[in-house]
Amino acid sequence: MVSGNEATKNKGYDSQYYIAAVVEYHPNLGSNPLQSIQNNLPIYEDIIHHASQYDVDILVFPEAGLTGVTLPDNRKEIRKFLTEIPSPESNTIPCFTQYCSTVLNKLSCAARLHHMYVVVNLPEIEYCKTEEDDSCSEDLANYYNTNVVFNREGRIVARYRKFNLFGELGFNHTRTSELCTFDTDFGVRFGMFICFDILFQDPAARLIRETGVKDVIFSTAWFSEIPLLTADSVQAGWAYTNDVNLLAASYNAPSMGGGGSGIYAGREGPLVMFMPDRPGTQIILSRVLKRQYNNCEIQSKKCSIDTNYQTFMSDNLILPYGKEKSPPNRNRPSDFRSV
């Protein structure tokens, strides 16, 4: 007998396409980054739930969606909201691990409950192993802008630390860039980098050249500038030049030029893309043709969650959400822990 999860896995592996979703996310900001995490974490869980209704295989959240982009410059203040992230080699499932932070626990459980790969950006702390570690900061820890990937079991299967920081005072980058890849149960190997990395050979171009990946995850808090740095043109151009599938999820702040997300099929062009003209959260979905196949019908659609949580819409489809259900509880849980 084949279990339900096993059957799903085998079906996904044999399929010519996978279903991807990227989140253009407008955060609910608090008075400080820790409060912002507490505000946005239940919304992330809710978005994962809604994406599961479309049989999404992999869901990508943007850079800084949980914390907001305005962070303290002082390392002592930054330290208060950083999360220690286990290495993929540890095979950790935070849903079952007491020592992991609340945010890792909740996201791991959501990925496991809804049986999908989930990519989330978090500010990370790594404590130094010894005082003699010459790669360590003076306060005996390094702070990273990090993407973490949970598989369908809620297990951490990848961790990438941003190399090309855009300002981000108080944060560290790794001594050398990481070429981060991970394999999925639907037969696709993904590479991954964050925001400003896309403009540099190291790691973005090296990732394609040295690993051969054909599917790339791009979490970003992009602020468009004309004429050559608008989010959609950079994303589409990079995907076309490298002829790869690109899943791009952006932080939404249109009043500052922030936003622009999409799913791109290399030289076949955008499957679906979104440039915001107002604040709001969008869930952008598409069937993505695996690169080993050639001719396949590709379907895409765009969903949105409005800022007041009144409706959940997909083109001409409005699902009963918001009016029948209360918004997620944004009250701070008494046992919330950041590290």
Residue 76 is encoded by which pair of tokens?
A: 């002592």
The answer to whether residue 68 scores a pLDDT higher than 60 is: yes
Least confident of 56-65, 103-112, 317-326: 317-326
Could you tell me how far CA 45 lies from the centroid of its own chain?
Answer: 13
Q: What pLDDT sits at residue 167?
A: 81
Q: Write the DSSP symbol of residue 201.
A: I
97 residue type, one letter = T
Q: Which pLDDT tens digit goes with each residue over 285-307?
A: 999 999 876 444 445 655 554 43
Work out the percent of the chain whose per-residue pLDDT is above 90. Answer: 67
How does strand 281-289 pair with strand 17-24?
Answer: antiparallel
Q: Do the Cβ atoms of 172 and 137 come closer than 8 Å?
A: yes
Q: Which pLDDT tens digit goes with each residue over 119-138?
A: 999 999 999 876 666 778 88
Helix axes 102-114, 33-52, angle to 10 degrees: 10
Q: What pLDDT sits at residue 135?
A: 76
The answer to whether residue 316 scores a pLDDT higher than 50 is: no
Mean pLDDT confidence for 186-213: 96
The string of DSSP codes covering 204-243 is IIHHHHHH--SEEEEEE--B-BTTTB-HHHHHHHHHHHHT
* Burial degree of 91 (CB within 10 A; 0-12, 13-18, 19+): exposed
Least confident of 5-9, 44-48, 129-133, 156-160: 5-9
Q: What pLDDT sits at residue 73?
A: 84
Least confident of 32-41, 246-255, 304-313, 315-324: 315-324
Catalytic residue set = 63, 162, 195
Q: What pLDDT sits at residue 6?
A: 42
Q: Write the DSSP symbol of residue 326.
A: P
Q: What pLDDT sits at residue 213?
A: 97
Q: What is the mean pLDDT of the chain?
A: 84
| Contacts of 119 by beta carbon, 8 Å cutoff, 6+ apart | 58, 59, 60, 61, 147, 148, 149, 192, 217, 219, 249
Q: What pLDDT sits at residue 136?
A: 84
Sign of CA dihedral 228, 234, 236, 239: positive
The CATH architecture of the domain made up of 17-127+137-294+314-321 is 4-Layer Sandwich (3.60)
Q: What pLDDT sits at residue 254?
A: 94
Q: What pLDDT sits at residue 107?
A: 99
Q: What pLDDT sits at residue 14?
A: 81
Q: Write the DSSP symbol of residue 74.
A: S
How does strand 317-319 pair with strand 270-274?
Answer: unpaired
Mean pLDDT confidence for 219-228: 90
User: CA–CA separation, 291 vs 16, rounded Å?
Assistant: 9
Q: Which pLDDT tens digit goes with each residue over 151-179?
A: 999 999 999 999 988 888 889 899 899 99
User: CA–CA separation, 42 vs 205, rounded Å?
Assistant: 35
